[in-house]
Amino acid sequence: MPTPEESTPVIVLVRPQLGENIGKAARAMLNFGLTEMRLVSPRDGWPNPSAGPAAAGADVVLEKAKVFESTAEAVADCAHVYATTVRKRGVTKPVQTPEQAARDIPRQQGRSAILFGPERSGLETEDVALARTIITAPINPDFGSLNLAQAVILVAYELSKHAELAMPTHEDLLPPAPQDELEGLIGHLERMLEPKGYFFPEARAEATRRTLRGVLTKPGWNHLEVRTLRGVLTTLQRVPRPDGN
């Protein structure tokens, strides 16, 4: 059984050029629960003052980032190395989609590393040669250019599907209103409709009431929604004042 550390891959940025892109990659990582970043010979050195603002709060990733002089050193402790590339390298290696790699990584014994190349040129042949597997996303063959953060977030998202991350919710859903509150709403509306002749003819009145009840009970309104609807009906029921207000 892989350890928690083995189930979570290392993200290796090989010769990244801009601090902003390192920060954006860190942000993408932390969004999906990845925190271990390794940097191989960043062009502008490290730490980079431009990375922090771009990380938008993902400081823990930047603070823990380790710098290496070569890709080989950065992945020396990893048993499984993946290279993200869309270019053919003349090297015969297994090719997986991000989805396939994300399914395999948590199951493997030993640490995994995923290599991402520099912004302008991507991984070089010698970097890809270190990898055992290539990760390539299905992408428009006429425009296969992803920026660094996009590439990281694409892979990180697939990995998150196999991690225990909480699904964010927009709001806490309230339970349906008690039956007596719903009965109050139905009765309120019926009392307003009765003098308007809504339940005419009398022979159809009971069927019309049942249909109306079905419409009002189907949504499963909570008590705040029922209260709001009662307020609407009360307002509509109010007799206008002589001044029109």
3 state DSSP class of 135: strand
On whether residue 56 sits in a domain, the answer given is: yes
Domain count across the chain: 2
Look up the CATH number of the domain holding residue 96.
3.40.1280.10
The predicted pLDDT at position 91 comes to 61
The predicted pLDDT at position 218 comes to 86
Average pLDDT over residues 124-130: 92
- Report the percent of the chain where pLDDT is more than 90: 66
Average pLDDT over residues 98-123: 92
The predicted pLDDT at position 127 comes to 94
Complete DSSP assignment for 202-223: GGGHHHHHHHHHHHHHTT--BH
Domain range for 110 is 4-160
Q: Could you give the dihedral angle defined by the CA atoms of residues 74, 2, 101 and 43, in that order, rounded to the nearest 10 degrees?
A: -20
On whether residue 187 sits in a domain, the answer given is: yes
Name the residue among 114, 149, 126, 135 with its Cα closest to residue 16.
149
The predicted pLDDT at position 126 comes to 92
Kindly report, residue by residue over 30-71, the tens digit of the pLDDT: 999 999 999 999 999 999 999 999 999 999 999 999 999 999
Task: Please tell me whether residues 77 and 197 are part of one structural domain.
Answer: no
What is the model's pTM?
0.69
Name the residue among 61, 59, 50, 58 with its Cα closest to residue 13.
61
The predicted pLDDT at position 15 comes to 96
Task: Please tell me whether residues 29 and 147 are part of one structural domain.
Answer: yes
Kindly report, residue by residue over 182-220, the tens digit of the pLDDT: 999 999 999 999 998 999 898 999 999 999 999 988 888
On whether residue 173 sits in a domain, the answer given is: no
- Report the percent of the chain where pLDDT is more than 70: 92
Residue with tokens 């892989």: 2
